[in-house]
Amino acid sequence: MSTFPQFSLLKHLEKNAPVICDGAKLPLLQELGFPETSACFMANLTHPQLVPQVYQNYLRAGASILRTNTESAHRFVLDELQLLDRLENINNNGMALLREGVGMLGIPAGSVTSVKKDVIGEIPLHLLERAYGEQFIYLADTGAKFIMLSEFTDLEDLKTALRVAKHSVQRQLVAHLRLCQQEDVSVVLEKMQELWERGTDFIGIQASSQYHHLSLLMETLVDHFGIVSVLLDEPAPLPFGQVSPEFRKVAQTLLEQEVAILGGGHHTTPAHIQSITEIVTTLPASC
């Protein structure tokens, strides 16, 4: 168990909300020369000189929450790549390279994504729990202030990850559920309530800016839970450094609705985070 002093995300948000989270790492890594065919986490092993530059770019763009480059870095994917013996190394390097890039600036969050999204077929529960537990422990022991869960489309999968995290590490958890385009607001609210009752510290959603009910949903979630985190996707890949007007518009609406944490999801770059930063500077002091 880690002996790092406990960080309170709640106290930080009470003083600093809205807080900006970083965006996707793969587009920027590829812009810096990382091979297009490689999994993003492989940069921790094969191109460690590039990863700190990613964090420096996001920090300059205005992000204060920086997530480790450890998405999908679990035993099932690594076993398929014949790299299972590098599991600990890749996850530990995730935090080391983050700190190499920004020192003690920013808030380092451990990033864990859905195992099930990477695996075809059923996974025995004990193996699923092992995969999550390993990552949680590696990230907490190397200094993650809290854990961000993302890329979960299956509620039961996310509940499993939450349960394992609660038993594995003493870290606050931000649980993001990825929304389907046609998902009804009332259904999403029921799922968020279930996550809350299962022990997540903060409710989060991950959605495209084209999700039609996002504004109504956010109003409902903020009223119900108070603190909400959002990872917002760019609807489609754009030339590097470009941001769609739709992304800007939705980001502004979310911030006006008092989302506490806003970061980038799929297809986002430091330009997206810079656009969020620019919007934050225009918000009234009461927001």
The model's pLDDT over 100-110, given as tens digits with 9 standing for 90+, comes to 999 999 999 99
The confidence score (pLDDT) of residue 1 equals 43
pLDDT for 3-40, tens place per residue? 445 899 999 999 999 999 999 999 999 999 999 999 99
pLDDT for 106-145, tens place per residue? 999 999 999 999 999 999 999 999 999 999 999 999 999 9
Q: Strand runs (DSSP E) across 10-159, as ranges?
A: 19-20, 65-67, 107-113, 146-152
pLDDT lower than 70: segments of the chain: 1-5, 286-287
User: Reduced to 3 states, what is the DSSP secondary structure of residue 44?
Assistant: helix
Structural domains present in the chain: 9-282 (3.20.20.330)
251 DSSP 8-state letter: H
Question: Own/partner pairs for 84-87, CB < 8 Å, 24+ apart?
Answer: 86/45, 87/134, 87/138
165 DSSP 8-state letter: H
Residues contacting residue 248 through CB under 8 Å, at least 6 positions apart: 275, 279
